[in-house]
Structure 1
Amino acid sequence: MTGTSNCTSIYRSHVLTTWDSESISEVKLEMYEDGNMTVNIRFNGTGSNFTNWFDHNRLIDSGWSTMSQNRTFNFFSLQGGFMRTFFINEAYKGCPKDRGWMIVIDPNVGYFPCGYEAQPNKPAFLYARGENITRWGDNDYGLADVLAVFIKR
């Protein structure tokens, strides 16, 4: 793995450039806070590429009992929306009532419409604690130190 040119704490595997030829069967996303795994989501990686693996239709399971392929999401996207990435959200109800499972707040965005996005350190990895969604505006979310993506061939 090599560090990016912008930040020495972000690492990028060469697999991202060879993904299509890797015969990937599963992809797992994990978040860690203080060395403890707080988020785990498994995806079907068969036939995926390095951007479309993160999709609710590929979801195998997660640590959130309320997350399934049958659930309604207004966002479940790697590219996200509204300047958010790795974004899994159920509903927008105005900033204080937005509800979801996880958001990555991008460090290169200068406009943050909701208070929970104004994190002092970015990227910021926000996640719903427990087995259910969180209402982001209640500030009842975890803030992970690490986001990691693993593949299984």
Structure 2
Amino acid sequence: MRFYNSLLILKILFILLQCLQCPKYTDATCFAKEYKLLPDGFNVFIKNGSQPVFKQQSAKDENRCMHMCVKERLCHIWRFDDNHKCQIFHSMKDVITVEKSKSASMTTYYETVKDEKWHEIYYVKSKSGFVVYPSFMAIGTYESWGPANCTRVFCPDFFRSNLIDVWKKLPVTKVKFSLFKDNAEVIFLIFNGHGTTTQNWFSISRILQSSWKDVHKGAPSIDFGLDYNSARTFYITKHHRGCERESGWMMIAELKKGCSWENHSAYPHIIYSNKTTATIWQEGYATADALVIYMSF
């Protein structure tokens, strides 16, 4: 998890030191990361009019290209061209598109994580100043989503994998939505990921497991979706009865609105019911420190 960044950095350094002893870049014992071929002849490219963070480099084979990506903490996708050129992609700053290539020897690979069930694709810290819905859906650019304080290898309050941009081409089996408080997961929702897109995975009809006993497939809910309006996102509500009686399970307040429980000193503000069922917002709720979204392949 992102709360343990120092441990993560140490882990990466240890892995890279191990790789110096390996005869091949593909040796599975070298890297915690693994890569799979983007299926059906699709490849990832930089959108016209934008420039990549990492310049295209020469590489004698796919293994060398993979190694270039492994060395960059924020690279999760790489492409090897038939002219022995390697393009690695910055997970948040590059604006990418997915297209079919005319060349059968051009290949794009995406990151998976060895021996781990969940692959983190999105993280945002509460009160960090980042907008949630636009950043998740890639509306605008990294610089427009909030404080552009990511370095080449580390982002303290925000992370977005460009695996989100190739979602429809990935063999996603499950999606997990988690809220964290004091470094512990306090809420989770697990969704059926088969055949999903960035727009339709967050649906009550796809729920497989939930922290709340009254949130399940077929449960009545007035609103369940990514974008309720510009002020509320990832919003799950039970009843609209005015500010004093409105009830629900969670929401992310993105800016000030009419109800007192939507007005805070900093945004985004992640609130949720810490009961086993929905809560009346005016009567009480808990606040999460962070939101994390994962994929499983």
**Structure 1 length-normalised TM:** 0.91
| Count of residues in Structure 1 that have an aligned counterpart in Structure 2 | 149
Name the structure 1 match of 2:285: 141
- Specify which of 83, 97, 102 is matched with residue 250 of structure 2: 102
- What is the distance in 2 between the residues matched to 1:15 and 1:116? 34
Matched to 2:224, the amino acid is: F
- What is the distance in 1 between the residues matched to 2:292 and 2:202? 13
Confirm whether residue 119 of structure 1 aligns to residue 267 of structure 2: no
Unaligned runs of 5+ in 2: 1-73, 75-90, 93-141, 150-156
Instruction: Quote the offset at 1:70 in angstroms.
Output: 2.1
- What is the distance in 1 between the residues matched to 2:282 and 2:192? 32
8 A Cα contact 1:75 1:81, kept in partner: no
- What is the distance in 1 between the residues matched to 2:253 and 2:277? 20
- The alignment-based identity, stated in percent, is 25
Alignment of 1:83-102 (within 5 A): 83-102=231-250
- What is the distance in 1 between the residues matched to 2:228 and 2:160? 19
Instruction: Quote the offset at 1:82 in angstroms.
Output: 6.3
8 A Cα contact 1:30 1:147, kept in partner: yes
Name the structure 1 match of 2:176: 28
Q: CA RMSD in A?
A: 1.4
The one-character-per-residue Cα deviations of 1:63-110 (angstroms, maximum 9, x if unpaired) are 10111122211110011236210000011111011000000011xx4x
Matched to 2:268, the amino acid is: P
The one-character-per-residue Cα deviations of 1:84-139 (angstroms, maximum 9, x if unpaired) are 10000011111011000000011xx4x5011000022210110000211110011x
Confirm whether residue 65 of structure 1 aligns to residue 209 of structure 2: no
Q: Which has the higher contact order (CA 8 A, sep 6+)?
A: 1
**Structure 2 length-normalised TM:** 0.48
- What is the distance in 2 between the residues matched to 1:40 and 1:88? 13
- What is the distance in 1 between the residues matched to 2:170 and 2:264? 36
8 A Cα contact 1:66 1:131, kept in partner: yes
Q: Which has the higher strand share?
A: 1
Unaligned runs of 5+ in 1: none
- What is the distance in 1 between the residues matched to 2:165 and 2:221? 29
Matched to 1:103, the amino acid is: M
Confirm whether residue 150 of structure 1 aligns to residue 294 of structure 2: yes
Q: Which has the higher helix share?
A: 2
Name the structure 1 match of 2:186: 38
Tell which deviates more after alignment, 1-10 or 30-39: 1-10
